[in-house]
């Protein structure tokens, strides 16, 4: 290749690299990002940030010193025209070698002090007034079970929700994080079971925790202010991993008490003769009841899919892709679940438009 060609090629490569770098920088910009570790909205998330920032500066200083040294040496000893002489070659320098062994050890020792303190803090037992919730990663949605004795429902179980977790502000929530552990269970499509690892992460409220079948990990969570806090599965878990979202709705303690009182009730039964009543018949007489629980309906106790007792009280479903208050969203899901969430375990039952209208009316009545 001619030298001119080489020059243009190098220029082009530099251009492409520059554009890629710019694209990455621009992709990192989001003024209203809702999953931002650097904007903690509770004490536990804040603790993580106050460790992250100083460690980042230490790491940045190490990076600049090491990379700066490399660049400086590359430039200083680069090949120059007319100078064929090799620079002086050294082998072995005890003082230097001891120095660059001790220096990193000292840096790590300094960084270790706040790191270990934070780990101990975040791994400590929760305060006695904490709310206990078991979070289970399923393919591809999150199940929340409120396990405290005062969270028992009229039907005799515990309060269970899906996709959206409701918590009171200013109070610690102690999460027990696990994953579906029954390999082969609930499979409707002949694929291997649901026992895969997920990772639960709502960056503004808490750290990240692995959800592992048959194991129980713990994490502390708390929100300062009411609001919706978004999160996402952070461990590859199959086809719809990328859209396995979750939201935490933090409400005032009074609103939380009202929410709990409502969640304890059996599902509402629609007025006879209404479209919703037809939907309830379709639900209990069809396939829905095989996988979904609705408190108050005999035999509707299955745990394969989300508990739908208070479906219409939630903010999102289908891995938090769709809105429970939106009839079109529910219709879209019932028409073809896998079109919304690839690999969805809920089969397409090829429901008729009439059945779908009735089921939508019924689901939207489950406040």
Residues at the site binding ligand CUA, with contacts judged by CB under 6 A:
137, 140, 198, 233, 235-237, 241, 244
Whole-number Å distance between alpha carbons of 259 and 249: 11
Q: How far is the CB of 359 from ligand CUA (least distance, A)?
A: 27
* Contacting residues for 219 by C-beta, under 8 A, at least 6 apart: 122, 175, 177, 200, 206, 207, 209
176 vs 287 by CB, closer to ligand CUA: 176
Q: How far is the CB of 200 from ligand CUA (least distance, A)?
A: 9
Q: How far is the CB of 215 from ligand CUA (least distance, A)?
A: 15
Q: How far is the CB of 244 from ligand CUA (least distance, A)?
A: 4
Q: How far is the CB of 254 from ligand CUA (least distance, A)?
A: 33
Is residue 122 within 8 Å of residue 207, measured between CB atoms?
yes
213 vs 270 by CB, closer to ligand CUA: 213
- Quickly tell me which residue has 């202010």 as its tokens: 225
244 vs 297 by CB, closer to ligand CUA: 244
239 vs 312 by CB, closer to ligand CUA: 239
Q: Which two tokens stand for residue 306?
A: 């989300």
146 vs 194 by CB, closer to ligand CUA: 194
Is residue 287 within 8 Å of residue 205, measured between CB atoms?
no
Q: Which two tokens stand for residue 130?
A: 């904490």
51 vs 244 by CB, closer to ligand CUA: 244
DSSP-assigned beta bridge partners for residue 133: 146, 175
Q: How far is the CB of 342 from ligand CUA (least distance, A)?
A: 13
Q: What are the Cα distances from residue 348, in Å, to 19, 20, 260, 332, 352?
A: 44, 41, 33, 11, 11
Q: For the CA atoms of the chain, what is the radius of gyration?
A: 28
Identify the three-state secondary structure at position 224: coil
Q: For residue 304, give the nearest of 128, 181, 156, 186 by alpha carbon.
A: 186
Whole-number Å distance between alpha carbons of 96 and 30: 45
Q: How far is the CB of 176 from ligand CUA (least distance, A)?
A: 17
- Quickly tell me which residue has 């009545």 as its tokens: 365
133 vs 295 by CB, closer to ligand CUA: 133
């Amino acid at each position: 290749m001619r030298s001119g060609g080489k020059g243009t090629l190098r220029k082009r490569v530099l251009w492409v690299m520059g554009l890629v770098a710019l694209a990455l920088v621009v992709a990192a910009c989001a003024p209203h990002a809702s999953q931002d570790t650097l904007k903690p909205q509770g004490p536990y998330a804040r603790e993580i940030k106050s460790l992250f920032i100083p460690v980042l500066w230490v790491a940045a200083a190490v990076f600049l010193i090491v990379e700066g040294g490399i660049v400086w040496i590359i430039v200083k000893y680069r090949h120059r025209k007319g100078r064929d002489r090799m620079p002086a070659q050294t082998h072995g320098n005890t003082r230097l070698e001891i120095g660059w062994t001790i220096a990193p050890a000292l840096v790590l020792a300094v960084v270790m002090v706040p790191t270990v303190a934070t780990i101990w803090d975040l791994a400590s037992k929760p305060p006695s007034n904490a709310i206990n919730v078991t979070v289970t990663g399923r393919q591809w949605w999150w199940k929340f079970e409120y396990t405290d004795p005062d969270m028992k429902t009229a039907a005799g179980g515990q309060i269970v929700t899906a996709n959206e977790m409701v918590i009171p502000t200013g109070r610690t929530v102690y999460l027990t994080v696990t994953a579906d552990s029954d390999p082969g269970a609930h499979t409707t499509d002949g694929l291997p079971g649901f026992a895969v690892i997920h990772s639960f992460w709502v960056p503004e409220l808490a750290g990240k925790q692995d959800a592992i079948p048959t194991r129980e990990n713990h994490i502390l969570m708390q929100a300062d202010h009411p609001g919706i806090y978004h999160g996402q599965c952070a461990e590859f878990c199959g086809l719809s991993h990328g859209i396995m979202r979750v939201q935490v709705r933090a409400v005032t303690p009074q609103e939380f008490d009202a929410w709990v009182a409502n969640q304890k009730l059996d599902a509402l039964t629609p007025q006879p003769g209404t479209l919703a009543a037809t939907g309830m018949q379709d639900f209990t007489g069809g396939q829905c009841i095989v996988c979904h629980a609705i408190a108050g309906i005999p035999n509707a106790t299955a745990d394969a899919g989300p508990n739908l007792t208070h479906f219409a009280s939630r903010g999102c479903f289908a891995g938090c892709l769709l809105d429970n208050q939106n009839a079109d969203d529910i219709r879209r899901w019932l028409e073809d679940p896998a079109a919304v969430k690839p690999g969805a375990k809920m089969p397409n039952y090829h429901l008729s438009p009439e059945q779908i209208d009735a089921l939508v009316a019924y689901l939207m009545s489950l406040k």
